[in-house]
């Protein structure tokens, strides 16, 4: 029996959620925080503990978006109380609402998204959509709106099941002792007691849910490079690793000025796209539509620019050498933007004039050879 791919489910869910948000706010009013940190991890891994330090280190003044809190709306509570699941579409719309309401000139932290395989696929689509909106503004105005492309950061904290259980049980004991002291003294604030912190069976059940979606989280690394963070050490040790991880992810990002230089380059669609679709896109002046392969395609564009034979000059770089890592590609692009911007723009103009038309002309076959 034919089984509908998860990616197709995700696209349908995402498109409906995005349409609802556009209808609610208006397409031109969809602006998002400049940096979005997606914080995930095993139960008891310390997400709440490390959130304040992450916000401080990144200069984030927006309150964190906690998905479990967003699900406390009357509509969601009604579904949960009936033993029903809140749909991925509803979760997406709640997330979009919270992002749009956040101040867009600083970052924001999202705690607890994505969790399911569908949500992982939707995160790729969110990224693509935000990049497309940025490219459209660049094309339409020849400069970026002050609200430029959001940067995604992925932070996944990991502890094994036994440590997860130990930490949550210990947290439950600490909270109960604190609240008992408040009752006796009449002073201080009560802390929220979590049912799951007092029941080992429930704790292990929560961890089992995390493990069930663990593979989907790891697949994110194919799109957004990141490393799992071992959260077993002290608070200071784990926070140091988190900051190093953000430095690593930042090293794979193009500087805004460099990105702006290549953002207008159209992106290839899936191989075998129908000819009439291509013609219609060309007539409408939309170029190619980005898909879930956006980062991989963008990487190929970066690689082409940095290795194109039209980049022949007296640069200190050996242009014929093949970069060994994506970070090498980024560094070389940044170097050209800083030291030889005219040469870089010559290469980009060459791609616009010679390469893109060839790709469009051969889009039906899905294969073209360009000799330079």
The CATH number of the domain holding residue 93 is: 3.40.50.300
Number of domains in the chain: 2
How far is Cα 27 from Cα 114, in angstroms, rounded to an integer?
A: 24
- Pair (294, 330) in one structural domain: yes
Q: What percent of the chain has pLDDT over 90?
A: 32
The domain boundary residue, chosen from 216, 231, 251: 251
Answer yes or no: do 61 and 200 share one domain: yes
φ, ψ for residue 225, nearest 5 deg: -60, 125
Whether residue 81 is contained in a domain is answered as yes
| More confident call, 18 vs 117 | 18
| Domain assignment present for 221 | yes
Q: Is 188 exposed, middle or buried (CB count within 10 Å of its CB: 0-12, 13-18, 19+)?
A: exposed
| 176 shares a domain with 65 | yes
Print the domain residue range for 283.
258-361
Supply the mean pLDDT for the chain: 77
pLDDT score at 183: 93
Asked if 49 and 163 sit in the same domain, the reply is yes
Average pLDDT over residues 300-306: 48
pLDDT in the model for residue 366: 64
Q: Are residues 321 and 284 in the same domain?
A: yes
pLDDT of residue 97 exceeding 70: yes
Q: Are 71 and 94 in contact (CB under 8 A)?
A: yes
**47-51, 73-77, 258-262, 312-316: which is most confident:** 47-51
Question: Is pLDDT of 2 > 60?
Answer: no
Pair 341, 227 in one domain: no
Q: What is the DSSP letter of 39?
A: E
CA distance 345 to 359: 20
pLDDT on residue 231 = 93
Q: Confidence band (pLDDT; 50, 70, 90) for 227?
A: confident
Q: What is the rounded distance in angstroms from the CA atom of residue 276 to the CA atom of residue 133? A: 24
Structure tokens at 359: 């790709």
Domain contains 366: no
**Residue 70 token pair:** 């967003």
Residues 32 and 160 in one domain: yes
Distance CA(208)–CA(217), nearest Å, equals 14
Supply the DSSP string of 193-249, one letter for each residue.
PPGGGS-HHHHHHHHHHHHHTHHHHHHGGGTS----EE--S-HHHHHHHHHHHHHHH
pTM over 0.75: no
């Amino acid at each position: 029996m034919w089984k509908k791919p998860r990616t197709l489910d995700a696209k349908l869910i995402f498109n409906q959620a995005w349409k609802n948000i556009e209808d609610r706010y208006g397409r031109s009013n969809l602006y998002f925080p400049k940096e979005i940190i997606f914080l995930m991890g095993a139960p008891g891994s310390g997400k709440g503990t490390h959130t304040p330090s992450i916000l401080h280190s990144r200069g984030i003044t927006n309150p964190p978006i906690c998905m479990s809190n967003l699900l406390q709306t009357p509509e969601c509570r009604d579904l949960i109380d009936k033993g029903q699941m809140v749909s991925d579409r509803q979760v997406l719309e709640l997330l979009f609402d919270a992002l749009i309401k956040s101040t867009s000139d600083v970052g924001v932290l999202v705690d607890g998204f994505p969790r399911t395989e569908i949500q992982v696929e939707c995160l790729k689509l969110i990224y693509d959509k935000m990049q497309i909106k940025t490219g459209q503004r660049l094309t339409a105005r020849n400069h970026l709106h002050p609200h430029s492309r959001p940067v995604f950061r992925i932070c996944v904290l990991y502890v094994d099941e036994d440590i997860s259980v130990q930490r949550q049980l210990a947290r439950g004991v600490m909270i109960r002792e604190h609240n008992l002291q408040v009752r006796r003294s009449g002073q201080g604030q009560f802390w929220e007691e979590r049912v799951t912190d007092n029941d080992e069976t429930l704790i292990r059940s929560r961890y089992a849910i995390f493990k069930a979606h663990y593979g989907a989280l790891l697949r994110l690394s194919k799109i957004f490079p990141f490393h799992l963070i071992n959260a077993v050490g002290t608070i200071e040790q784990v926070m140091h690793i988190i900051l190093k991880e953000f430095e690593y992810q930042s090293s794979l990002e193009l500087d805004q000025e460099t990105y702006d230089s290549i953002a207008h380059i159209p992106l290839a669609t899936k191989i075998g796209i129908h000819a009439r679709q291509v013609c219609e896109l060309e007539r409408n002046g939309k170029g190619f539509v980005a898909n879930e392969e956006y980062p991989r395609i963008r990487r190929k564009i970066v690689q082409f620019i940095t290795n194109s034979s039209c980049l022949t000059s007296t640069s200190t770089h050996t242009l014929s050498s093949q970069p060994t890592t994506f970070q090498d590609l980024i560094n070389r692009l940044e170097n050209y933007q800083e030291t030889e911007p005219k040469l870089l723009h010559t290469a980009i103009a060459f791609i616009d004039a010679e390469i893109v038309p060839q790709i469009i002309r051969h889009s039906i076959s899905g294969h073209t050879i360009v000799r330079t």
